[in-house]
Structure 1
Amino acid sequence: MMPTLRVGLLLVPGCMPSGLFAVADILHAANLRCGRELFKTVWVAESREPVVCAHGVTLTPEQTLAEAACDAVLVPDFWAYTIKQVWRVLDANAALAATLARLPAHVALGSYCTGVALLARAGRLDGAAATTTWWLADAMRERFGDVDWQFHHNALFTPTLATATGANGHLAIVRAFVERHCGAQVFQDIRQWMVLPRPSHTLPVFQGLQLLFQQQPLLRRLQLEVERLPAREATVERVASLLATSPRTLSRRVKEGTGESVASQVRLVKMNQVSERLLLTGDSVGRISDALGFSDESSLRRAFRQLTGYTPKQYRQAFKS
């Protein structure tokens, strides 16, 4: 009989604890489904002091991470809109990263979205394949060069390591964990009981678009204007005019908010529209090109493959439900 696995739910200052609570509920459901306690969740932190999470929610750990003797630890994501904010969180949690680094090699570690940066800071991803939220890609590749970053994957797993993209990446991680220890049918039953969402069928490059733009008013306005414009007319100058600002000011503010150029963000918005139409309609690429105002179909195909690594046909085949 499999011994009970201790799963540490790591409280990090400023973290979004919703993913931790969701994992606790799913593991509890797995225990009920299997008729015995396969998983015991333990709330852990760097110290026993209460931890202030996102939105001012304060949670008190049961044990410290060092003393909990966990078989697995889940590192949550945290609020960050810029790379600088991510680095500040890492600097503020240097002691926690050091504790993660000292955990025994057999302890399974999982994280998602911005939380992956903490595992990278701890050195636990060195030499391993890992992924994280798309907008962190360039910065993570530059700062943590010993990691085999594979940002085209939504989730990557080994027996002792799991990383996933997006704020809901905990679902992919807990699914793999439950299936490994209980079997696929157990998780299927849990998904039906709890009405869990189906896995996301899209690329990481598009997953963070809505969250990023919703959190920054200028980017949200940029998105709306670009979506209305025909692709061939969506120049930096035209977009700046519609936003009542200068191209220079727009370029500076977009660079500060995303680390990317205006042209890159415009291209991302138009390619996201292409992605949605490929997955939600049966329209031909030519019809999509005409509807979105591209100068020609070949321009759309070239831009889409450059951004995603897929031709439109390959993308539709790979991700359409």
Structure 2
Amino acid sequence: MKISVLVLEGVFDTGLATVLDALAMANRLAQWTGISTPGFEVTLVGVRSPVHTALGLQVPVRMIADTTNPDCVIVPALADMTAETLLPALGRADVIDALGALRTWHGTGARLAAACTGTFVLAESGLLAGSEATTTWWLSPLFRQRYPDVQLNAHRIVVPSGAMVTAGAALSHLDLVLWLIRGNSPELAGLVAKYLVFDARLSQSGYVISDHLAHSDPLVERFDRLVRERLHETITLDSVAEALGTSKRTLSRRLGDVLGKTPVEFIQDLRIERAVHLLMTSKFSVEQIAEQVGYGDGVTLRTLLRRRLGKGIRELRPRE
């Protein structure tokens, strides 16, 4: 399988290294174990030379014009982690040239893959329009605003959609590569994960800092603060909207735009967040904690923790 890794100026060092190391390990392990797989022929490509990582390391790239049509193109993240730095980067001449290359590769039938802020580069090309995608969780409000024709599911780690596949924040570069390896050999992907001591993850939700997202919109920030103060109570959307001086419809729309969640889903997130904190830092019983976060009994809390986090009470309680 021919894989081109598109390296742009200021690429995120860890993202690039993760992609290269995981694919190289897959090739080595396939040879050692005799797993039948076509292997991965990896080429670093660029639209300018030389190319430097965000930490200043020079990357030896081949010019796109000198490469043959790949089966897959991976776009690692740019190390621009805020809207203030990412948006100007998307307007750079080299990035604009890269967008044309992505469209050309797509036209030849190549699969296009991107992780973290690399998903913005892919979306900027217009090729994600009408498709489902994910992105780095803390930039999801910006993604929704800039690419309204993309169906964003920022909770998921990896989202395949037709000839595109996107992955979430930072170290989801590894989730992305393992997904690609799994397409050739599930056995090999499992072996690579074991050698890297890597646990499969399906969601970014457990890593999201809700405060960070909430602060990007005044109404959502006020909603967040009000709900946190009332977590122990029965909370209705009518009472919250009235207290905030807005309508249920406006509140739901703003939460959807910023967080990609309904008010009920966000309230549940905050309750689980508080419950996990109390489980790990207090000696309260499960029933006492359930009461403090607005649930009538411990059974409901246990069920939600298992469903949302994939963990039970015993796994969250610190060992003494």
- TM-score normalised by length of structure 2: 0.67
Deviates more, 1:105-114 or 1:28-37: 28-37
1:236-260 C-alpha deviation (Å, 9 max, x unpaired):
xxxxxxxxxxxxxxxxxxxxxxx99
Map of 1:129 onto structure 2: 132
Distance in 2 of aligned mates of 1:95 and 1:62: 15
| DSSP-derived class of the 2:100 partner | helix
Change in CA separation of 1:159 and 1:145 when aligned onto 2, cut-off 3 Å: closer
Distance in 2 of aligned mates of 1:285 and 1:179: 39
Shift of 1:312: 7.1
Map of 2:181 onto structure 1: 178
Q: Give ranges in structure 2 of 5+ residues lacking alignment.
A: 32-36, 214-227, 232-257, 260-266, 312-320
Map of 1:199 onto structure 2: 200
Q: 1:22 aligns with which of 7, 18, 26?
A: 18
Shift of 1:186: 1.6
1:76 aligns with 2:101: no
Distance in 2 of aligned mates of 1:56 and 1:50: 11
Map of 2:289 onto structure 1: 288
Q: Percent identity?
A: 21
Map of 1:62 onto structure 2: 62
Q: Which letter maps to 1:172?
A: D
Q: Which letter maps to 2:69?
A: A
Q: Tell whether the 8 Å contact from 1:10 to 1:45 is kept in structure 2 after alignment.
A: yes
Change in CA separation of 1:232 and 1:142 when aligned onto 2, cut-off 3 Å: closer
| DSSP-derived class of the 1:177 partner | helix
Q: Tell whether the 8 Å contact from 1:77 to 1:114 is kept in structure 2 after alignment.
A: yes
Q: Tell whether the 8 Å contact from 1:278 to 1:316 is kept in structure 2 after alignment.
A: no
Q: 2:294 aligns with which of 285, 293, 297?
A: 297
Map of 2:239 onto structure 1: none
Map of 2:9 onto structure 1: 13
What does 1:239-318 correspond to in 2, within 5 Å? 272-275=273-276, 286-288=287-289, 297-298=294-295, 313-318=303-308
Map of 1:263 onto structure 2: none
Distance in 1 of aligned mates of 2:281 and 2:174: 23
| DSSP-derived class of the 1:198 partner | coil
Q: Which letter maps to 1:297?
A: G
1:97-132 C-alpha deviation (Å, 9 max, x unpaired):
222122234111111111100000011211111011
Q: Tell whether the 8 Å contact from 1:8 to 1:44 is kept in structure 2 after alignment.
A: yes
Q: Give ranges in structure 1 of 5+ residues lacking alignment.
A: 214-230, 235-258, 261-266, 302-309
Map of 2:168 onto structure 1: 165
| DSSP-derived class of the 1:55 partner | coil
Distance in 1 of aligned mates of 2:8 and 2:66: 14
Shift of 1:23: 2.3
- TM-score normalised by length of structure 1: 0.66
Map of 2:264 onto structure 1: none
Change in CA separation of 1:120 and 1:315 when aligned onto 2, cut-off 3 Å: farther
Q: Tell whether the 8 Å contact from 2:3 to 2:74 is kept in structure 1 after alignment.
A: yes
